[in-house]
Structure 1
Amino acid sequence: MKQLVKIALFVLAIAFLASCTTSTAESGSVAKEPVEYVNPYMGNISHLLVPTFPTIHLPNSLLRVYPERRDYTEIELNGLPLIVTSHRGSSAFNLSPFQGEERELRPVIQFRYDQEELTPYSYSVYLDEQNIQVDYGLSHQSAVYEIQFEKDAPAYLILNSKNGGMNWDGKAISGYQLIENNTKVYLYMVPAELPQQVSSLNRSGLSEATSAEGRNASLVLKYPAGTKTLALHYGISFIDEQQAKANMEREVAGKTVAALQEAGRAAWNDALGKIAVKGGTNDEQTVFYTSLYRCYERPVCISEGGRYYSAFDGTVHEDNGRPFYTDDWIWDSYRAHHPLRVLIDSKKEEDILNSFVLMSEQMDNFWWPTFPEITGDSRRMNSNHGVASVIDAYRKGLRNFDLEKAYEACKGAITEKTLAPWSGMPAGKMDQFYKDHGYIPALYEGEKETIPEVHSFERRQPVAVTLGTSYDEWCLSQIAEELGKDEDAEYFKKASFNYRNIFNEETKFFHPKDKDGKFIEPFDYKFSGGMGARGYYGENNAWVYRWDVQHNIPDLINLMGGNEEFVKNLDAMFTEPLGRGKYAFYAQLPDHTGNVGQFSMANEPSLHIPYLYNMAGQPWKTQKRLRKLLHEWFRNDLMGVPGDEDGGGMSAFVVFSSMGFYPVTPGEPVYTIGSPMFEHVSITLENGKTFEVEATNASDVNKYIQSASLNGEALDTPWISHEDIQNGGKLVFEMGPKANKMWGLE
């Protein structure tokens, strides 16, 4: 009997365990918080050019750092960073903890390291040859390092300014570094323990001094043998050292690294949690949230205690209770980065546009910025696409910025400033030619440049500039229309068709013309134009710029001969061979990577192209192309980004496309539908409403839309309006493994 009872109890126990296992499997593992999906190392090894950087920062904050090394694969760190002053920049100040012989001290110590752990809000690394553990936590303008020394030898802290000064006042180190354009960044750092000795470090070694000035200005704090732990609290400012001190006292005084990391984690979960996704694989969610994290790296808020330093006029301004933002490469961020912020951070986007208005007023000429950075507007790349962000925001209901001033600044940047790339000079002879003839004249191969507005290291990029300016002028016409400026609206609307002036009806490509109106011949649409095809295009060749008419796709379809020919040309782009071996192709076109045929997933002018099938009656091909591109080129690994990721420009494409829609034409309050990756997406809007995207059965196999509904009503068009989203509601897709070639044709 006892034996039977034992057997019965054993069976019941097995059944109970099985039920627990089944329950856990059915419910899944404990849900991760959004920030836990972020992999800052994704894309840290570049396919060819600039990789991504594993940046530690809070969303859109002034203080950004990352491990300073020449490349991810390097085995040494260049000391410890205190601030990175711009996207892709190097550290302005440097901290090097050290134990060893004094003769081995250097302004910046090269550390061998191990056990590096990095999240968006924290950093930890073990300097294994020094036997030093480093932990880091940060706030918006201040941070804390905690350093543990394992050896019994004297401990040193080396503080370095690459081009500036450092000073010890008996309690704290303060300093500055000159970046460029008369812009300085300031430091105020307080060690928790006072040092035994303070010295300056120069080429001849240590000397008794409490200040240092010039190149590699360095102070050394010496601590006695037996020192085990040192905490360093510091603040950063672009205003002055006293403001750096105030920033430190306001944000991190008395706080530990652990406390800052906890607050940083909460801040990131709040930002990333505005979009909640369910379904997909762990890797797909990682790619999604990592891409969203990168959309918060730029621009940065540089308001400090109600003031900000503007490099646009070299003056400290009151911010009047409204944050000031800079560091934004609008040449590409207008495409998806700004529109994403309109969707999930509309008040912040209004503040950013207001900042651009202020920049325009602060500069010598009242011109809208193109590449606003910490050190001013660098006027890089071609065209002035900031105008697109103005009309896009306004058309989507954002009103808290001065549209009249924005329009005048944008108009000036397009009509008074030269259209020549990488130049901030006033309009000249080439610009007058554009106004008279409706295109930028091209030079023949070997013909010498004579236009002074064209930068000495650049080319005039006539096709890229003509196409880009046509779009910019369309945007101007739309703003003018909103403001009731009928004459301007008509003028710029007519100019927005200037792309037609360089369309070759025989080849169906945009083809450069000389000053006499003749097409440049002979011509190779893949390779003419020299390095980066800049003699005629810009970073990408004619195959990419063939589609650069974002504002008038129906007319582009007509120019190519209708839907059938348009689709045939799109298909050809994805199948056309490189035309040379990869070595030779990328030697001339290093930005034109991430290839599928001649399509370049790695460069922003390509981002809208897969969606163009929607406009020509074959939405299923948009769905097919997008899933292939997302799956192959954006992955949860060190090479998981195909090309230059400009701090959100390309990542916003991933965010939108994964959700299932994309803003092909910023300035039109419309989103074009792709192929939703996740079973469920919930977007929390700033108006308190929620918009949901449900994709039943969505998977890598089930990538095709079978049918769709919006708020219970059948949706038969491959687009939705911004108003549909802002009103809240639900967009539902039924997904399947084979294309429904009839969906989306109405």
Structure 2
Amino acid sequence: MLHRRGIYTLLISLALYSCRGTLSSQEETLDPIDYVETNMGGISHLLVPTYPTIHLPNSMMRIHPQRADYASEQIAGLPLILTSHRGVSAFALSPRSSVTDSIPTVTHYSYDAEVVRPYSYEVRLLEPEVQVSYAPAAQSALYSLTFEGEGTGRYLVLSSAEGELQAFGRTIRGYQQLEDSTRVYIYAESDITPQSYGVRGEHTGLVAMTPQQAEGRTIVLSYSQPTVRLRYGVSYISVEQARRNVEREIQSYEVQLVAKAARNEWTKALGKVQVEGGTEAERRTFYTSLYRTYERMVCISEDGRYWSAFDRQVHDDAGVPFYTDDWLWDSYRAAHPLRILLDPLKEQQMLTSYLRMAEQSPEGWLPTFPEVTGDTHRMNGTHTIASFADAYAKGLTGFNLSAAYETASKTLQEKSYLPWTRIPKGPLSEYLDKHGYFPGLRIGQQETDPRVTKWEKRQSVAVSLGAAYDYWCLSQLAKFAGHDEEAAGYLRRSYDYRKLFNYATGFFHPKDDRGHFIQPFDYELSGGLGARDYYDENNAYTYRWDVQHNPADLIYLMGGKERFIGYLDETLRTPLSKSKWEFYSTLPDQTGGVGQFSMANEPSLHIPYLYNYAGAPWRTQRLVRKLIDTWFRPDLMGVPGDEDGGGLSAFVVFSMMGIYPVTPGLPIYNVGTPFFPRVTLQLSSGRTFVIEAKETSTTNKYIQSAELNGKPLDRAWLRHSELAAGGRLVLVMGSRPNKAWGANTPPPSAERIDLKPAK
């Protein structure tokens, strides 16, 4: 019996070994693009889900299915172009089997068999039955639509909510009016000529068909063949430019050819980081996150010209493509630093685009949330400055440093600190300039400044801390540009966060305009919806750590490393004081919770790495592994909060590689815990940097020892120059923490100056 059991065990083992060999062989044939799960995070934990976007890396042409989230039962037409991140399509395409009755401008469909890849889209509409295939190029795309039902009509309805469309012969042309004077134009050609043309009545919804042409906001085309293929181009310049775009990029009506070219572009982009080993789920999480970081910014240069909403003119790009659509409050933290590492040329082009926006704007200020229609200025701060400082600190000189410094200085001197505004400074901003902090309202005090938005409030602590960081970044730019005296002054201002530090509690505590801490105060719940009276989307536990440029001084303020570690632990271990539904009704952005810590919102991203500064890198290693394993998975709820077009996903990419840029503006990376036995970065110089983690796993998350290019490394941080030069970082991993490794050489912080603590 024992002998027989042994034989069975041997056979099972051989079978499992054989299966593993087959799986490994299959995995070796996969390209990075094959690991992307476009629906990761497609159902939100609370607020906004991710959307499965189909596009080329950083390209103007973007679409995603028009629905609330993955669980939606219907999609609203077929999109033709999104003019903003996670937006609504500027034009809609609706196949129909009948237009005999009053029809909507956009038809809603039940659907099935949807397959979304970064480079192609397939779906079967069920009523009517239409098989849809789609593939994008940079400024154009191709649809193939096959009507499968017998004995029904075959109509395409194209709509533009605020514009005009014309159809004659096989061509369609028109525009959609966006904000101000910005328009997006379209030029399309079908592979067969329509039988007839129609226009939907604006008020009746009834369609009148004619044999020659159609003109209106919603037009209808009737076809005799079951398959219609439509290639189209878009432009922000003109219809003729849209025509040139599609003719340049798509010469055939074969969707597979266009999809193959798009796939090749994605293979090149994602192939800049090669990971080996790890689990399949980890590879899917990693490459999906990397894919997300290419959704923005988007290049809107067309044949060397671009439309600028900042002065409402068309410009020559002089060989430097123009990019827009960015939310700097989110993206400066990790998305821009990742691009500096993987695609420095593109990053420099984006920085040059910011300078063009400022030059073309009436105020001459840097943008904060630039979009196709201009700077929407959401959130708070002017963290565009951080991206300039970070790039130059890391050796990127392909932008005008002098212009960057002068424009950043002008912006901070003139523009209001008030959240969600793009206006000159008023009394509250002048108060911050004089006293070093933004005053908050006392409990029950009514707002006195009509320029404060009713929804976003003052955000007094968040604004104060954000301004201190912006001034530190400006001091770096001043130093790089040779303005030493100004650099020293801005550096002193970067310490103004001290004005709000409450030594009795260890929190940044709002003060009123009399210099008094506002009382009574609850660090978890005070501040109203989103804590916006004093903070922004997160409570005081998050903003306790919002001094990215100077963790060393924060350790000093808190009374030393042990107390600093204690406060970090407190953030992670303090439970919610209310039920989840009560807590999230006040702080809906603070999902992905570990105690009071939020994995879902960008101001929290650097917090797990702060243990490195206090001599406890092992705590960072443990926490980062837990956070990624818990909150980021390649499934429908695998993103804990609003993704914001790469803002959150870049944290995952960096962290899974084993490094993270805590302080944009300092050319260093904190070392965390690598998820893969081997990561190879293909640098733009042609060099490679390899991170090798021996025996790494969910269990073996602790660094035992390290070598950089064959020499012992006993610090939990790397210089950017060490990565950029190419080489190899070897980490020996284990299941128990080595509490001595990296403990004695903390990562650098801001330059220390002689300041007495503010009481």
Same fold by TM-score greater than 0.5: yes
- 1:435 is matched with 433
Task: Detail structure 1 runs of 4+ shifted over 6 Å in the superposition.
Answer: 17-20
- Deviation, 1:99, is 1.1
AA matched with 1:223? Y
Residues 250, 375 of structure 1: alpha-carbon distance in 2 compared, 3 angstrom cutoff: same
1:318-397 correspondence to structure 2 within 5 Å: 318-397=316-395
1:615-694 correspondence to structure 2 within 5 Å: 615-694=613-692
1:231-257 Cα deviation digits (max 9, x unpaired): 101001111111111111111132410
Determine which of 308, 311, 329 is the counterpart of 1:310. Answer: 308
- 2:572 is matched with 574
AA matched with 2:154? A
2:99–2:207 contact (8 Å) kept in structure 1: no
What CA distance in whole angstroms lies between the structure 2 residues aligned with 1:127 and 1:569?
A: 54
Residues 19, 504 of structure 1: alpha-carbon distance in 2 compared, 3 angstrom cutoff: closer
- Deviation, 1:376, is 0.3
Number of residue pairs the alignment of both structures matches: 726
- 1:167 is matched with 166
- Deviation, 1:132, is 1.0
1:186–1:240 contact (8 Å) kept in structure 2: yes
What CA distance in whole angstroms lies between the structure 1 residues aligned with 2:16 and 2:508?
A: 66
Residues 20, 502 of structure 1: alpha-carbon distance in 2 compared, 3 angstrom cutoff: closer
Could you say what secondary structure the match of 2:133 adopts?
strand
What CA distance in whole angstroms lies between the structure 2 residues aligned with 1:550 and 1:417?
A: 23
2:163–2:177 contact (8 Å) kept in structure 1: yes
1:217-228 correspondence to structure 2 within 5 Å: 217-224=217-224, 227-228=225-226
- Deviation, 1:208, is 4.4
Determine which of 514, 523, 534 is the counterpart of 1:525. Answer: 523
1:615-651 Cα deviation digits (max 9, x unpaired): 0011000000000000000011100000000100010
- Deviation, 1:505, is 0.7
AA matched with 1:232? L
- 2:236 is matched with 238
2:383–2:470 contact (8 Å) kept in structure 1: yes
- Deviation, 1:128, is 2.2
What CA distance in whole angstroms lies between the structure 2 residues aligned with 1:491 and 1:169?
A: 65
Identity of aligned residues (%): 52
Determine which of 278, 286, 297 is the counterpart of 1:280. Answer: 278
| Structure 1 residues without counterparts, runs of 5 or longer | 1-13
What CA distance in whole angstroms lies between the structure 2 residues aligned with 1:539 and 1:726?
A: 36
Residues 511, 27 of structure 1: alpha-carbon distance in 2 compared, 3 angstrom cutoff: closer
Find out whether 1:206 has 2:199 as its counterpart: no
What CA distance in whole angstroms lies between the structure 1 residues aligned with 2:599 and 2:519?
A: 29
AA matched with 2:635? D
AA matched with 1:438? G
Determine which of 16, 20, 24 is the counterpart of 2:21. Answer: 24
What CA distance in whole angstroms lies between the structure 2 residues aligned with 1:448 and 1:212?
A: 54
- 2:175 is matched with 176
Could you say what secondary structure the match of 1:431 adopts?
helix
1:93–1:177 contact (8 Å) kept in structure 2: yes
1:603–1:644 contact (8 Å) kept in structure 2: yes
- 2:155 is matched with 156
- Deviation, 1:22, is 8.2
What CA distance in whole angstroms lies between the structure 2 residues aligned with 1:570 and 1:457?
A: 31
What CA distance in whole angstroms lies between the structure 2 residues aligned with 1:104 and 1:627?
A: 56
- Deviation, 1:454, is 2.0
| Structure 2 residues without counterparts, runs of 5 or longer | 1-10, 745-759
1:418–1:453 contact (8 Å) kept in structure 2: no
What CA distance in whole angstroms lies between the structure 2 residues aligned with 1:125 and 1:535?
A: 46
1:151-210 Cα deviation digits (max 9, x unpaired): 232210101101111111333111111121221111111111111110101233012464
Find out whether 1:133 has 2:134 as its counterpart: no
Could you say what secondary structure the match of 1:103 adopts?
coil
Mean Cα deviation higher: 147-156 or 730-739: 147-156
Mean Cα deviation higher: 620-629 or 198-207: 198-207
2:682–2:688 contact (8 Å) kept in structure 1: yes
2:459–2:533 contact (8 Å) kept in structure 1: yes
TM-score (structure 2 length as normaliser): 0.94
AA matched with 1:24? G
- Deviation, 1:455, is 2.5
Could you say what secondary structure the match of 2:186 adopts?
strand
What CA distance in whole angstroms lies between the structure 1 residues aligned with 2:565 and 2:600?
A: 22
- 2:5 is matched with none
What CA distance in whole angstroms lies between the structure 1 residues aligned with 2:146 and 2:178?
A: 31
Find out whether 1:705 has 2:706 as its counterpart: no
- 2:542 is matched with 544
What CA distance in whole angstroms lies between the structure 2 residues aligned with 1:720 and 1:363?
A: 39
1:197–1:222 contact (8 Å) kept in structure 2: yes
1:311-365 Cα deviation digits (max 9, x unpaired): 1111111111111000000011010000000000000000000000000000001
Determine which of 487, 494, 497 is the counterpart of 1:496. Answer: 494
1:697-728 Cα deviation digits (max 9, x unpaired): 01111111111110000110000100000000
Mean Cα deviation higher: 548-557 or 175-184: 175-184
Determine which of 98, 103, 111 is the counterpart of 2:96. Answer: 98
1:283-329 Cα deviation digits (max 9, x unpaired): 10000000000000000000011111111111111111111000000
Residues 98, 570 of structure 1: alpha-carbon distance in 2 compared, 3 angstrom cutoff: same
Residues 101, 169 of structure 1: alpha-carbon distance in 2 compared, 3 angstrom cutoff: closer
Could you say what secondary structure the match of 2:156 adopts?
strand
What CA distance in whole angstroms lies between the structure 1 residues aligned with 2:304 and 2:214?
A: 30
Mean Cα deviation higher: 430-439 or 552-561: 430-439
Could you say what secondary structure the match of 1:322 adopts?
coil
Determine which of 55, 75, 78 is the counterpart of 1:77. Answer: 75
- 1:9 is matched with none
- 2:726 is matched with 728
What CA distance in whole angstroms lies between the structure 2 residues aligned with 1:742 and 1:19?
A: 40
Mean Cα deviation higher: 27-36 or 430-439: 27-36
Residues 200, 23 of structure 1: alpha-carbon distance in 2 compared, 3 angstrom cutoff: closer
What CA distance in whole angstroms lies between the structure 2 residues aligned with 1:154 and 1:517?
A: 73
- 2:751 is matched with none
Residues 265, 706 of structure 1: alpha-carbon distance in 2 compared, 3 angstrom cutoff: same
What CA distance in whole angstroms lies between the structure 1 residues aligned with 2:711 and 2:550?
A: 29
Determine which of 115, 122, 145 is the counterpart of 2:120. Answer: 122
1:136–1:144 contact (8 Å) kept in structure 2: yes
Could you say what secondary structure the match of 2:462 adopts?
helix
Could you say what secondary structure the match of 2:55 adopts?
coil
What CA distance in whole angstroms lies between the structure 1 residues aligned with 2:419 and 2:740?
A: 44
What CA distance in whole angstroms lies between the structure 1 residues aligned with 2:137 and 2:553?
A: 50
- Deviation, 1:66, is 0.5
Could you say what secondary structure the match of 1:468 adopts?
helix
Mean Cα deviation higher: 626-635 or 163-172: 163-172
- 2:260 is matched with 262
- 1:483 is matched with 481
Residues 19, 419 of structure 1: alpha-carbon distance in 2 compared, 3 angstrom cutoff: closer
1:233–1:253 contact (8 Å) kept in structure 2: no
AA matched with 2:153? P
Aligned-residue CA RMSD in angstroms?
1.5
- 1:587 is matched with 585
- Deviation, 1:23, is 9.3
AA matched with 2:676? F
- 1:8 is matched with none
